[in-house]
A and B are shown apart, each in its own frame.
Chain A
């Protein structure tokens, strides 16, 4: 199936039609944030302060790019592991965050919150930072500039390749995709329990 072209911020119509496993090319505007920026956003919310940008309807990309060389828009910019942001994510979803781009598993709490708030989680290819940088057309600091690569940047992207991992119904491609290729008959989830404690 050819990749679907999706513009960010994502329309409700697009969001609801995306299904786990769909290959997409993302366009439009997204915001970067990783560990340190999430921590600061959570602290702001705790104090009752506003976030440094209006998160409603937006997409966050979990990335900490390398410094841009002269003449480059951005350095290498592949996804980081999303699970580290899980603790902070449900609060952002409640504020209207609609899209997340990263790599790796999400917690049950995040998936439940995504279903409740109708959001989608994409994975980009981890370790393909040089290639992904080609689809990033502009970059400007939005907030927390002192955090360097961990600051919040506003990015304009064109044909950024990704795969829908968790859709708004909570279907998880990491589970579905694996099942088709699982030849190993031993139950891997039970491996650890076989080992004496």
Chain B
């Protein structure tokens, strides 16, 4: 799963590159998109990672409440799998155990970030993402005031994308969480990135907002790799949840163009 995620760029992303290539008017931008398509081809055919930052493995595991996990801890099982996949697949070990002393972790590219959601049914669905550090570093969260309203939300999202510029490796997939509380909002932004490119929100008003923001972001001029152009985002995804009467949390989780996601259903 980890290897596939790093070697095989999803068809949704490749198609997004191709359709961006048709619309892009910057010569450098076109050149970059072509090289990214070529890069994905090389990675797939030669079984090498598309990017040297093979990421932190982030999991969202949907556990059916009628499903019974036997034989040990699911956290350990996932980390074992990641360790094996990364080490044997010649993927990079990019985890430090201690954020301050920067001591390297002993388990190859683990521990992973694992979110578990309890859902109805008896299935176990494991969603995995190899999340790069550059785009994660440019992500942000702000507790807006309810009075900032929809305009404040749009301005905040655009300002984060504008600040990130070339650093987050555009063209980006922009994941947004609105509502919940401080930590839930960040999780919503991350979760939104697990939706395939082109997949709009089921809520009509949110789907409309996604489309509007996509257009506005692409008018910022940042372009592929920040070198100018009209392809700054491949997609914008928004997840919302109820929140406190005094609150309007907004989180923007940026994903570089190497939007690497895989899913296993058991």
Contact = CB atoms under 8 A, between A and B. Distances in A.
A181 B166 contact: no
B174 to A, nearest CB: 14
Nearest to A35: B102
A83 B167 contact: yes
Interface stretch (A44-52, A67-75, A87-95, A151-159): A67-75
B32 interface: yes
B19 interface: no
Contacts of B53: 64, 78, 80, 129
Contacts of B50: 76, 127-130
Interface in B218-235: 219-223, 225-230
Interface stretch (A4-12, A111-119, A170-178): A170-178
Most chain B Cβ neighbours within 10 Å, of A67, A128, A149, A180: A128
A161 B158 CA distance: 30
A131 B32 CA distance: 12
B227 A196 contact: no
B39 A194 contact: no
Nearest to B169: A126
A191 B162 contact: yes
For this complex, into which size category does the number of interface residues on chain A fall?
A: 35 or more
B149 to A, nearest CB: 10
Contacts of B241: none
A64 B162 CA distance: 26
A177 B144 contact: no
B105 interface: no
Given A178-B223, A194-B155, A63 B230 contact: no
Contacts of A63: 52
Interface in B24-79: 25-26, 28, 31-32, 35-36, 38-39, 42-43, 46, 48-54
A66 B32 contact: no
A104 interface: yes
Interface of B: 25-26, 28, 31-32, 35-36, 38-39, 42-43, 46, 48-54, 90-94, 102, 132, 134, 137, 142, 144-145, 147-148, 152, 155-156, 158-159, 162-163, 165-167, 169, 216, 219-223, 225-230, 256-258
Given A131-B35, A173-B228, 8 more contacts: A23-B28, A126-B225, A129-B52, A174-B165, A174-B166, A177-B28, A181-B26, A195-B148
Interface of A: 21, 23, 36, 63-69, 72, 75-78, 80-81, 83, 103-105, 123, 125-131, 133-134, 148-149, 161, 163, 165, 173-174, 176-184, 186, 188-189, 191-192, 194-196
13 contacts: A23-B28, A64-B92, A78-B51, A81-B167, A123-B227, A125-B39, A127-B50, A149-B52, A163-B227, A177-B28, A178-B223, A188-B220, A191-B155
Closest 9 CB pairs of A and B: A177-B228, A182-B221, A191-B159, A181-B221, A104-B167, A184-B219, A126-B169, A188-B162, A183-B219
